[in-house]
Amino acid sequence: MTLTAKQITEMIKKQIPDAQIEITDLKGDNNHYHAKIKSKRFKGLSKIKQHQLVYKALGKHMGSTLHALMLTTKEI
């Protein structure tokens, strides 16, 4: 079982509603993605904290139904 880019976007939007999200499927296998995410919620947070916020949104899927996710986060 894998996740689509749309499913990943929906999960992130639930946790970070103002997120601007661009997801690229790196290998065409619904298992290796690059997500570029911009949000006001990232203001004042280190990159580690920003990434933790995204991982929290993905919950149990990270490392299981979602094998690899490269993150680029930015405050808006």
**Residue 63 confidence (pLDDT):** 83
Contacts of residues 12-18 at CB distance under 8 Å and 24 or more positions apart, as own/partner, are: 12/37, 12/54, 12/57, 12/58, 14/57, 15/53, 15/54, 15/56, 15/57, 16/41, 16/53, 16/54, 16/57
Residue 21 pLDDT: 98
pTM score, whole prediction = 0.91
Return the CATH number of 5-75, one of 3.30.300.90, 3.40.630.30, 3.30.1540.10, 1.10.1470.10: 3.30.300.90
Low-confidence ranges of the chain (pLDDT < 50): none
